[in-house]
Structure 1
């Protein structure tokens, strides 16, 4: 699951409090040990995020989604599948959430900004870029996916000190949109059926 899915799952059919939204993204945006003294709402969502990732990565539906990307993207197939399942979430949004996608994202942005005091500096900088560049809404269009994968390509190229091109993932996601739309509900159902969402979902 990627950023939009984790924010959504922090409180399905609602918008979680700022500290919970921060915790929902923290494992993806903070390297190494997490800061000490985090509020309970942040810690609860961090644990939940990790449970969601473990359950998702082992689920046959996610493995099928990743397989679409593996021939062209190799080791990055799972990362591409995460992002493109957020695109499927955008398409499914009207049936999942009472707020329109744009309004929900606006509230997620507001909550993350309000909770910035709980973020270490690296996460705060990443969230500033997320809000300024509109990362979450990018998943709703092919052009947005291209921009996302272009940005990710540069990030991984810098980390790995070699060229990386993830932009073919946008084309693959378009080709397999119907498959991704089919697989997303299977993943969501598993999370709910096996109570992976745990204590933090009770408010949703």
Structure 2
């Protein structure tokens, strides 16, 4: 029998490793610079969400697993670890599963919905007056270059995570 806490810790560590390389990678920094100045404070969020969309859009290039099977596995893992997840996070995960947020990233509407949810959290915590959902026009305008950036970056991220997992 495996230790759920150990697997959960390993997953969290992998997630932090992904965040670290992503935040510091020159290609991602270049993508962030494509975001207009008024949204520059939130460029990391915008690029992260748009890269999620690009990953789902191009899933078959980067994974042999059928995307619907992957999402089912992810949602089931949330149930496995539910006792180890803080209540606030469990609530968000419940909404994610019920709304099938991962599948929604197949379409730009899913990106827009994600930005709308993030807007709500930003306003609740910071009272920010900016609406990230309005940045959809920028993401669409820059989509060709952002997709080129993504395809240059993602294989490097995959290799980094492979090395992380082996190490």
TM-score by length of 1: 0.72
Contact 1:153 1:167 in 2 (8 A): yes
Tell me whether 1:155 sits opposite 2:115 in the alignment: no
| CA spacing shift, 1:161–1:64, aligned 2, 3 Å | same
Q: Which has the higher contact order (CA 8 A, sep 6+)?
A: 2
After TM superposition, list the pairs within 5 Å mapping 1:160-175 onto structure 2: 160-175=126-141
Partner of 1:146: 112
Partner of 2:41: 75
Contact 1:52 1:197 in 2 (8 A): no
Partner of 2:55: 89
| CA spacing shift, 1:173–1:162, aligned 2, 3 Å | closer
Partner of 1:122: 88
| CA spacing shift, 1:90–1:201, aligned 2, 3 Å | farther
Q: Distance in 2 between matches of 1:162 and 1:191?
A: 32
Residue by residue over 1:75-98, the C-alpha shift from the partner in whole angstroms, topping out at 9 and shown as x without a partner, is: 011111000000110111011222
TM-score by length of 2: 0.86
Residue by residue over 1:102-154, the C-alpha shift from the partner in whole angstroms, topping out at 9 and shown as x without a partner, is: 23212211221222122121221111011112221222211111111112111
Q: 2:142 aligns with which of 166, 171, 176?
A: 176
Segments of 5+ residues of structure 2 without an aligned counterpart are: none
Question: Does the residue aligned with 1:140 lie in a helix, a strand or coil?
Answer: coil
Contact 1:72 1:168 in 2 (8 A): no
Question: Does the residue aligned with 1:167 lie in a helix, a strand or coil?
Answer: helix
| CA spacing shift, 1:133–1:127, aligned 2, 3 Å | same
Calculate the aligned-residue CA RMSD, in Å. 2.2
Segments of 5+ residues of structure 1 without an aligned counterpart are: 1-16, 20-38
Partner of 1:136: 102
How many residue pairs are counted as aligned between the two chains?
Answer: 165
Partner of 2:26: 60
| CA spacing shift, 1:167–1:44, aligned 2, 3 Å | same
Q: 1:100 aligns with which of 56, 62, 66?
A: 66
